[in-house]
Amino acid sequence: MDAINETLIIRFKGDQAEELVDQIAAETTFTLMVNGKSLVSLLCTPTELDTMAVGFLISEGLLADRDSLLSRSRLFLSFIF
| pLDDT 10s digits, 25-52 | 988 888 988 878 888 998 888 888 888 8
How does strand 77-80 pair with strand 37-44?
unpaired
Q: Which of 13-22, 31-40, 62-71 has the highest mean pLDDT?
A: 13-22
Task: Round to whole Å and give the CA distance between 28 and 20.
Answer: 24
- Name residues whose C-beta falls within 8 Å of residue 6's C-beta, 6 or more positions apart in sequence: 21, 22, 23, 24
The three-state secondary structure class of 16 is strand
